[in-house]
Structure 1
């Protein structure tokens, strides 16, 4: 699959992605990428976040590929049972938040926990750091394997955001391109 053949739906973390974040950069660079905009970027309402994702998938004219980061992943996991398998091609998941270990921002809706351990109904790749303050690598690895994701060890990379120096994130772009090329649609 090529990026032009998909609707790339960007699901930012709590607080949204700043202009230097890799998600914002990719949104500007990839013509089929668009952010799923939330009314409240402080993650106060799980139901509203999930509903926005479901609406965006239903409105998509091409197969959807998620570009999810942080709590955007949690919202996507909660939305997954409501998504048509025919509409969602894949998920590229980066730096999950361990919602069950008290690592969510104080503003976040406690209903984001727990996360389902059921396999995702679409192929996915999860990129996790060994030094992410929001999730241990072991917890991310466990989530990824439960979801059926191919797990990538990003090493000492913090939360894989602009604060950890991953604004441009060329390694991520290459990893995403390889992942996308592995997706086959009927």
Structure 2
């Protein structure tokens, strides 16, 4: 996929992604990448987060690949369940990294407004990358979300929440997952042509 023909929208989760987070590195590295900015990273509001994503996608006609982390993944699922079909068609795929299970016991109160997690399949190719020791979602829950959303799943060993605390700063290995998703998107495009 030619980089000029696609843009990347990066969706951080609760509390945002600091400078040393892989999402910030990817924003600086990927061509045509930008972040979906939220009004309040510490007190997430589902309606306003979904609206911000809708505005970011609708701002340009260029096709988009979404790159979500944690609560950003759940935001994508909520957005897809209610988006305007014209805006929805602009999304070519989504990389969903370490989705937060906002229905888990002990979930922080700040995230509970995003429950229940939508079960509807995403209407675009997606790849969910989880971990076998993520405090925000067990591997079983990550696989359930992938199944519900129609996403291909990859469960990493010992990767934690795939964030700065778990040692994922630039996460160069993550590009392999993005490229796999893009290859799937390109293959589907050729089949439809």
1:88-127 → structure 2 map (5 Å cutoff): 88-108=91-111, 110-127=112-129
String of CA shifts for 1:5-31, please: whole Å, max 9, x gaps.
212010001000011111100000112
CA drift of 1:83 comes to: 4.5
How many residues align? The count is 185
Q: How far did 1:104 drift?
A: 3.6
CA RMSD of aligned residues (A): 1.4
Map 1:1-186 → 2, pairs under 5 A: 1-81=1-81, 82-84=83-85, 85-108=88-111, 110-184=112-186, 185=189, 186=193
For 1:165 and 1:68, locate their aligned partners in 2 and report how far apart those are by CA, in whole Å. Answer: 18
> How far, CA to CA, are the matches of 1:126 and 1:163 in structure 2?
20
What is the rounded CA distance, in whole Å, between the counterparts of 1:43 and 1:89 in structure 2? 29
Structure 2: runs of 5 or more not aligned: none
Residues 31-57 of structure 1: CA deviation (Å, up to 9, x unaligned):
211000000002431110000001111
1-structure distance, mates of 2:95, 2:133: 19
Work out the CA distance in 1 between the residues paired with 2:173 and 2:147. Answer: 22
Helix, strand or coil: the match of 2:133?
coil
- When normalised by structure 1's length, the TM-score is 0.94
In structure 1, stretches of 5+ residues that fail to align are: none
Structure 1 residue ranges (4+ consecutive) displaced by more than 4 angstroms after TM superposition:
none
Matches of 1:65 and 1:115, distance apart in 2: 21
